[in-house]
A and B are shown apart, each in its own frame.
Chain A
Amino acid sequence: MATLPLDHDKVADCRHLARGIAANVQQYIDGHTTVAVERTVLRLLGVDGTGEHGAPLANLLVETLHKAGVLGKGAAWWMGRCFRLGMDSPTTMALELPRLLAAGDRGVPPLSAEDEQALQDDVAALARDAVEELGRRREHRKALRRSLGIGPDPQKYIIVATGNIHEDAVQARAAAQAGAQIIAVIRSTAQSLLDYVPQGATTEGFGGTYATQENFRIMREALDDESRKLGRYIQLTNYSSGLCMPEIAYMAAHERLDMLLNDSMYGILFRDINMRRTFIDQYFSRRIVAHAGIIINTGEDNYLTTADAVDKGHTVLTSQFINEALAHLAGMKDSQLGLGHAHEIDPWLEDSWLLELAMAQLVRQVFPAHPIKFMPPTKHMTGDIFWSHVYDAMFNLATVATRQSIQLAGVMTEAMHTPLMMDRYAAIKSVNYIFNAARHLGEEIEFKRGGIIDQRARLVLDRAHAELQHVSRAGLMDAIGEGVFADTRRKLDGGKGHDGVVQRDAGYFNPFLSLLTPAAEPY
């Protein structure tokens, strides 16, 4: 088996540093909540549907509590309080709460210790049911997945993005028939900046299809059907990112999605979402994901579109260690961590492909138990689709040679549009050919000691280690402020969604924090 000599002590120290960095951030997270987390709590507790002007009820309720400055007690507590005031439907709560809150103690009288306990018990019982339901859905997926099988690694992952969920289902089936093992539905442009999740099936989107619970259901149903026809289980993924990160995680868990794009920093760096907001949101989303047995895909690959892949390749590894540590704190297992990296070095550089191999092999060895995800060239792709197809072929070869777990298939039209049916087909055909033709290449070759690949891998690990030492001194939030990742700087209180961050009260109540235990066997 081709392996690079790895400095295990250095890797261990990287993990140690990352744990410290993550623990610091976690301290902040544990004292706070956000409007998105509380909306998720309500959704878990069964608040569904829309109210006035088509706004989701979860939004209306949380907005009311936030405006009144009482969200720090937790939406679950308020739900229990509403029960005790005789309201049992979320619609009534949305209508009545503003008036009661405005009336102060007369509207919402203080509770005795006994009543307080009873309130928490009532809500905890509901919460227990909700978590058990997620567990049942996880087991259902596990059974389907195990009975049909998912096929060998590297898993072929491909995107659909027509904007219309019904059209997406047609294209997803076509892709599965051609050999795809994982279908990703790309989200509509700007959905990550919506502070609510749209409702129902959608047929119009820009550069993608809206992530809604109903769209998730429609697509999973189509893929369940296709899986049975093909005799192999087709996995589905979507995006748990942006201002509704935890809500989408919940919807995905409920609709039995298999994977989620879920990164602790992507929203901060690439959508300018406030960092505090993102850190709190990612934690709760990962608590759900840990329980639901979903595999996450992190977004380090994107760093190499804004920063140079040769100079800043090490920041990918640095961030992977941090993403890993933060995910562990949320109870996730290594087998759920699809850490991302990418084939983005300037292809016209001499030996560029050797440098790509070095990085891919290094990530493989540093994260041996993780379903790591290798992303195709994007930035240097051009409108010359014939050349671009060749470039993708080299990427396919790197993927199979370094035994990546998941590979997003590069499509020759990357520089133009989201893939058309035939573009996608051409991509999968090339992947099928190369994965098969070079299936055991990685077991046949050896890397020359002291050669270009070996030296590059050492350099990247050394630099990642130094970078982690730096981040550990500066603190993660300040490091982001300096532009350590993706050459992009963000301010602590800048960006979108900062006003949705709330300090937890001493009496903050969120039963899910203890109930969402990690799945013993995720999948």
Chain B
Amino acid sequence: MQRRIRPYGDKTDDGVIQMSFTLPVPAGPRAREAARLLLEREMGMKDVKIASMEGIATDYTYFVAYASTQASLDYDAVDVPIVKTPNYGFTGVNQRIESELKRHIIVVGGNNGFDSHTVGIDAIINMKGFSGDYGLERYPWFRAFNLGAQLKDDEFLDRAVEVNADAVLVSKVVTQRDIHKEDALGLIQRAKDRGLRDRFIFVIGGPRLTHKEGLEWGFDAGFGPGTKPSDVASYLADEVIRRARGRQR
């Protein structure tokens, strides 16, 4: 069964979208018409309403517009990889590790490259955690090392080897000019070069990241905004247990 969907404004399938943008021309009737044509003729929108036009600098005009799109999409055909582990919660995760793995899970976490943002990785690792959800340091069955930011790739990997980590947690926050991607790919490449890629579970996270991107960039998982430490702990518990079982066989 196909289920085609369109944006919802005021009624089913009306396709209404709200937009704002700037054109590099002075405000006036011609600018207004240009904005309308851009949406209607060039972008194929219907029912274009230029709600507001305002000159915001010499030669720049800001528009707010509403219009409807005829485009629609088969929702059932949308395929997006998601981290499949349910959230077991703090107690659930610990019980699982205690009964099924019977040893600590060891992780190192940090932010490589020149990115100096630590709050994201702190939220996952530090005691305090994030929005009422305890960080990995608080889990009796985790041993977590927070290495901070501005890490060199080798420094990061050396620490992972040194503490015999199960997983490497990477946080990337600055995304301008795809610097986060470059840093992420760089780390994976370095791990491959050193023969370490398969030794650790590599997890990436950050405000502009998805699981899909994580997989595409060669990580085992990716986590986006609003991630709770218990989401990551649950995933790691399952994955480490799965790998341990694989090895036994």
Chain A residues close to B by CB (< 8 Å): 163, 173-175, 177-178, 189-190, 193, 206-207, 270-272, 305-306, 379, 383, 415, 417-418, 420-422, 425
A207, closest chain B residue (CB): B176
Partner of A425, one of B62, B122, B149, B150: B62
A342 to chain B, nearest CB (A): 14
Q: A272-B148, A305-B119 are in contact. Are A177 and B177 (CB under 8 A)?
A: no
B22 at the interface (CB under 8 A from A): yes
* A189 to B178 Cα, complex, angstroms: 13
State whether B114 touches A422 (Cβ < 8 A): no
Residues of the A chain whose Cβ atoms lie less than 8 Å from the Cβ of B119: 305-306, 379
State whether B115 touches A189 (Cβ < 8 A): yes
Bits for B104-122, please: 1 = Cβ < 8 Å to A, else 0. 0000000000111011001
A181 to chain B, nearest CB (A): 16
* A217 to B32 Cα, complex, angstroms: 37
Chain B residues close to A by CB (< 8 Å): 20-22, 54, 56-58, 60, 62, 114-116, 118-119, 122, 148-150, 174, 176-177, 179, 207, 225
State whether A422 touches B116 (Cβ < 8 A): no
* A207 to B134 Cα, complex, angstroms: 32
State whether B20 touches A422 (Cβ < 8 A): yes
* A189 to B119 Cα, complex, angstroms: 17
State whether A174 touches B179 (Cβ < 8 A): no
* A207 to B57 Cα, complex, angstroms: 23
* A408 to B195 Cα, complex, angstroms: 48
- Give the 8 A-B CB pairs with smallest separation, nearest first: A174-B57, A190-B114, A425-B56, A207-B176, A422-B22, A422-B62, A206-B176, A177-B57
* A326 to B118 Cα, complex, angstroms: 28
Given A175-B57, A193-B150: 19 more A-B contacts, CB < 8 Å: A163-B176, A174-B60, A177-B56, A189-B114, A189-B174, A189-B179, A206-B176, A206-B177, A272-B116, A272-B149, A306-B119, A306-B122, A420-B22, A421-B57, A421-B60, A422-B22, A425-B54, A425-B56, A425-B57
* A509 to B35 Cα, complex, angstroms: 65
* A379 to B149 Cα, complex, angstroms: 18
28 contacts between A and B (CB under 8 A): A163-B176, A163-B177, A173-B58, A174-B56, A174-B58, A174-B60, A178-B56, A189-B174, A190-B114, A206-B174, A206-B177, A207-B176, A270-B116, A271-B116, A271-B150, A272-B116, A272-B148, A272-B149, A306-B122, A417-B176, A421-B56, A421-B62, A422-B20, A422-B22, A422-B56, A422-B62, A425-B54, A425-B56
